[in-house]
Amino acid sequence: DGGITQSPKYLFRKEGQNVTLSCEQNLNHDAMYWYRQDPGQGLRLIYYSQIVNDFQKGDIAEGYSVSREKKESFPLTVTSAQKNPTAFYLCASSTQGGQPQHFGDGTRLSIL
């Protein structure tokens, strides 16, 4: 079945440590997205990519970085500069921008 796979499901980070969240899709979608979900704040866009080797900052990109070296992969790195990283992170993809997005199951990141 086609879909989006996020790993790991749970991730713990120590202070001052960078961590990378994986997102892989086999839907052959061009566009991919990273969101952060906090209670009562909905989904806030971190980064998005419309095509391989290109990506744009979303509304809350500070303290995060991404890469898009392959169409099916869009990893997110939460750097030590992100002061409040504890959250639920969602990856999504769509055929192109503005179209319905398909979501992964999410990664929950916590600080030790």
Partner 1 sequence: AQSVSQHNHHVILSEAASLELGCNYSYGGTVNLFWYVQYPGQHLQLLLKYFSGDPLVKGIKGFEAEFIKSKFSFNLRKPSVQWSDTAEYFCAVNYGGAQKLVFGQGTRLTINP
Q: Which residues bind partner 1 (CB under 8 A)?
A: 4, 31, 33, 35, 40-45, 48, 50, 56, 58, 90, 92, 96-98, 100-101, 103-106
Would you list the DSSP string of 16-35?
Answer: T--EEEEEEE-S--SEEEEE
| Short-list 34, 32, 35, CA closest to 52 | 32
CB nearer partner 1, residue 16 or residue 40: 40
Output the smallest distance, CB 72 to partner 1, in A: 18
Output the smallest distance, CB 30 to partner 1, in A: 10
